[in-house]
Amino acid sequence: MFTALLAQIADKADKAQGFDKEKASSSLLNNPLPWVVGIFALFLGIFVVVVFFSFIRLWIQSLLTGARISILDLVGMKLRNVDYSMIVRQKISLVQAGIKVTTEDLEAHYLARGNVPKTAMAVIAAHKANMDLPWKIAAAIDLAGRDILKAVGTSVNPMVIDCPDPSKGQQTLDGVCHDGIQLRAKARVTVRTKLDRLVGGATEETIIARVGEGIVEAIGTAQTYQEVLANPNLISRTVLKKSLDSQTAFEIVSIDVVEIFVGDNVGAKLRADQAGSDLRVAQANAEQRRAAAVAQEQEMRAKVEENRAKVVLAEAEVPLAISQAFRDGRLGVMDYYNLRNLQADTEMRSSIAGPTGKPGERTNNERPGI
Secondary structure of 151-217 as H, E, C letters: HHHHHHCCEEEEECCHHHCCCCEEEECCCCEEEEEEEEEEEEECHHHCCCCECHHHHHHHHHHHHHH
- 163/197 same-domain check: yes
On the question of pLDDT at 50 being above 70, the answer is no
CB within 8 Å of 119: residues ≥ 6 apart: 109, 135, 138, 139, 142, 148, 149
- Among 140, 156, 172, the domain-final residue is 156
Give the rounded percent of residues in the chain with a pLDDT score beyond 70. 81
**The predicted structure's pLDDT at residue 19:** 42
Is 164 a domain residue? yes
pTM score of the predicted model: 0.56
Is 152 a domain residue? yes
- Residue 102 lies in domain: 53-156
Indicate the pLDDT class of residue 47, thresholds 50, 70 and 90.
low
In this structure, how many other beta carbons lie within 10 angstroms of the beta carbon of residue 328?
A: 8
On the question of pLDDT at 331 being above 80, the answer is no
- Among 104, 121, 156, the domain-final residue is 156
**The predicted structure's pLDDT at residue 280:** 92
Half-sphere exposure of 182 (CA within 13 A, CB side): 12
**The predicted structure's pLDDT at residue 34:** 66
- 89/169 same-domain check: no
CATH of the domain at 188: 3.30.479.30
Secondary structure of 95-131 as H, E, C letters: HHCCCCCCHHHHHHHHHCCCCHHHHHHHHHHHHHCCC
Query: What type of residue sits at position 139?
Result: A
The three-class DSSP label of residue 264 is strand
- Among 156, 179, 204, the domain-final residue is 156
